[in-house]
């Protein structure tokens, strides 16, 4: 059976990770080398300098490519490093269309770093395909898609958005950090590039920062590799080792994240302290059918709106103990945060409210602890706040 035909659970453990030929070492060693002996001038064995290539990184890149059903993977020092590299593919004067609820760091690098290099950005509601069609034009070279989005868990149609991008010969890049390749494989839906923050579910243990790009196009990968090497935002061999350790258990972790999130969403949905729950797995979610089609399950992220003030929401997130008050997501442990006071605090309140980010909104990254302990923890926090 070729590697391509294997199921994702098997690829997660074996893709890119043959036992070492010389020693039989089962796990990819941490190749802590900056440089490599050459047999003659320019005559090397595939590696000459570790910014350009490192065997631990190669195994991770092959593993990530296999998970995404892509042919080429490239790893970076952070998710922002990978997003930066996609922008490196563009030229001054190019135009980019992106969702109006993209990750805050994505909005920041677009507007505060790349606008001054004369890239132009339009942010639109990417669930509204007419709005996206109106926004693309001659000179649009990239359509940037996130799905599900943060923190309201809107679901975007990757196939439809890739089609709109391709009508004007633009690339469609999808940030697949929230769903992971276990639940959603954007290249299969027509996307050209998949971007990841490895810091989240792929690393999975909140102990490493990293990023990656995956494509199915050798020419595009060659360009990406050029910028990876030229800019130099590459991950250390140790970080690559940690992410490889994480991806092996991605399928089992995601199953539990999804089961717990599904049950927690249903419980919150019926709770008197909660006015609304944002989770693609709920029938009431506006893009539930699309999510069911595009994703294999609904993920471990959800948000809910407390029927209360900013202060009451603050009390809830301060009182929980199983849920740790912290930014970030995707680790085995449950995290809780209040977007209006934390991840989205930089957005002016009026704008925030207009975007549906109310003061009482609480976001959780549902971990893999026991679901009953999570419910009891939240109930105790609700009792303290109300």
Ligand X SMILES: *Cc1c(COP(=O)(O)O)cnc(C)c1O
Rounded to 10°, the helix 250-269/371-385 angle is 40
**Under a CB-based contact definition with an 8 Å cutoff, are residues 168 and 130 in contact?**
no
Q: Are strands 140-146 and 95-99 parallel, antiparallel or unpaired?
A: parallel
In terms of CB distance, is 106 or 315 closer to ligand X?
Answer: 106
User: How near is the Cβ of 273 to ligand X at its closest, in Å?
Assistant: 27
Q: Could you tell me the two tokens for 193? A: 């590039």
Residues at the site binding ligand X, with contacts judged by CB under 6 A:
78-80, 103, 105-106, 146, 175, 177-178, 197, 199-200, 209, 211
Alpha-carbon gap, residue 40 to 117, rounded angstroms: 42
In terms of CB distance, is 200 or 285 closer to ligand X?
Answer: 200
User: How near is the Cβ of 271 to ligand X at its closest, in Å?
Assistant: 27
In terms of CB distance, is 153 or 273 closer to ligand X?
Answer: 153
Instruction: Tell me whether residue 133 is one of the annotated catalytic residues.
Output: no
**Under a CB-based contact definition with an 8 Å cutoff, are residues 244 and 224 in contact?**
no
User: How near is the Cβ of 103 to ligand X at its closest, in Å?
Assistant: 4
In terms of CB distance, is 104 or 356 closer to ligand X?
Answer: 104
Q: Which residues pair with 76 in a beta bridge?
A: 211
Q: Which of 6, 51, 256, 380 is catalytic?
A: 51
Instruction: Tell me whether residue 380 is one of the annotated catalytic residues.
Output: no
Q: Could you tell me the two tokens for 197? A: 């923050």
Q: Find the length of the chain.
A: 386
User: How near is the Cβ of 123 to ligand X at its closest, in Å?
Assistant: 15
In terms of CB distance, is 78 or 260 closer to ligand X?
Answer: 78
Q: Could you tell me the two tokens for 47? A: 């590696």
User: How near is the Cβ of 154 to ligand X at its closest, in Å?
Assistant: 13
Name the DSSP letter for residue 5.
G
> Which residue is listed with tokens 């994702």?
8
**Under a CB-based contact definition with an 8 Å cutoff, are residues 74 and 51 in contact?**
no
∠ CA 35-39-45, rounded to 5°: 60
In terms of CB distance, is 83 or 385 closer to ligand X?
Answer: 83
User: How near is the Cβ of 10 to ligand X at its closest, in Å?
Assistant: 27
In terms of CB distance, is 178 or 278 closer to ligand X?
Answer: 178
Closest among 84, 83, 60 to 72, alpha carbons compared: 60
User: How near is the Cβ of 24 to ligand X at its closest, in Å?
Assistant: 34
In terms of CB distance, is 11 or 363 closer to ligand X?
Answer: 363
> Which residue is listed with tokens 């633009």?
170
Q: Could you tell me the two tokens for 313? A: 């929401």
Q: Which of 94, 157, 175, 192 is catalytic?
A: 175
CA 293 to chain centre: 19
Q: Which of 47, 103, 114, 227 is catalytic?
A: 103
**Which residue number places its CB atom closest to ligand X?**
79
Instruction: Tell me whether residue 175 is one of the annotated catalytic residues.
Output: yes
Rounded to 10°, the helix 237-248/55-67 angle is 30
> Which residue is listed with tokens 């009451």?
312
User: How near is the Cβ of 307 to ligand X at its closest, in Å?
Assistant: 28
Instruction: Tell me whether residue 103 is one of the annotated catalytic residues.
Output: yes
Alpha-carbon gap, residue 172 to 160, rounded angstroms: 10
**Under a CB-based contact definition with an 8 Å cutoff, are residues 290 and 155 in contact?**
yes
* Three-class DSSP category at 361: strand
Which residues does 196 contact at the CB level (< 8 Å), separation at least 6?
64, 79, 82, 175, 176, 177, 202, 211, 212, 213, 214
Active site positions, annotated: 51, 103, 175, 200
């Amino acid at each position: 059976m070729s590697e391509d035909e294997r199921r994702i659970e098997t690829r997660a453990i074996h893709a890119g990770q043959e036992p070492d030929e010389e020693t039989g070492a089962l796990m990819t060693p941490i190749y802590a080398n900056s440089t490599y002996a050459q047999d003659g001038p320019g005559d090397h064995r595939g590696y000459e300098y570790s910014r350009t290539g490192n065997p631990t990184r190669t195994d991770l890149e092959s593993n990530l490519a296999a998970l995404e059903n892509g042919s080429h993977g490239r790893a970076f020092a952070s998710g922002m490093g990978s997003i930066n590299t996609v922008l490196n593919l563009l030229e001054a004067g190019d135009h980019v269309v992106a969702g109006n609820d993209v990750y805050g760091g994505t909005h920041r690098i677009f507007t505060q770093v790349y606008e001054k290099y004369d890239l132009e950005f339009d942010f639109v509601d990417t669930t509204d395909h007419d709005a996206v069609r109106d926004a693309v034009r001659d000179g649009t070279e990239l359509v940037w898609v996130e799905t599900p989005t943060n923190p309201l868990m809107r679901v975007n149609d990757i196939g439809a958005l890739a089609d709109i991008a391709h009508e004007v010969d633009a690339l469609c890049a999808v940030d697949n950090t929230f769903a992971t390749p276990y639940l959603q494989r954007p290249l299969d839906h027509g996307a050209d590039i998949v971007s990841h923050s490895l810091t989240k579910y792929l690393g999975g243990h909140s102990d490493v920062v990293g990023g990656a790009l995956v494509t199915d196009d050798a020419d595009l990968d060659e360009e990406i590799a050029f910028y990876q090497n030229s800019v130099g935002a590459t991950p250390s061999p140790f970080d690559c080792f940690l992410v490889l350790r994480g991806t092996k258990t991605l399928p089992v972790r995601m199953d539990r994240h999804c089961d717990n999130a599904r049950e927690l969403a249903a419980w919150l949905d019926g709770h008197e302290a909660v006015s609304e729950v944002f989770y693609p797995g709920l029938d009431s979610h506006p893009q539930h059918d699309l999510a069911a089609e595009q994703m294999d399950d609904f993920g471990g992220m959800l948000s809910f709106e407390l029927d209360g003030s900013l202060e009451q929401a603050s009390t809830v997130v301060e009182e929980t103990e199983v849920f740790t008050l912290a930014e970030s997501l995707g680790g085995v442990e449950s995290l809780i945060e209040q977007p209006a006071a934390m991840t989205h605090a930089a957005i002016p309140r009026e704008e925030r409210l207009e975007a549906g980010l109310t003061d009482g909104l609480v976001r959780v990254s549902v971990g893999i602890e026991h679901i009953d302990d999570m419910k009891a923890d939240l109930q105790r926090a609700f009792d303290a706040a109300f």
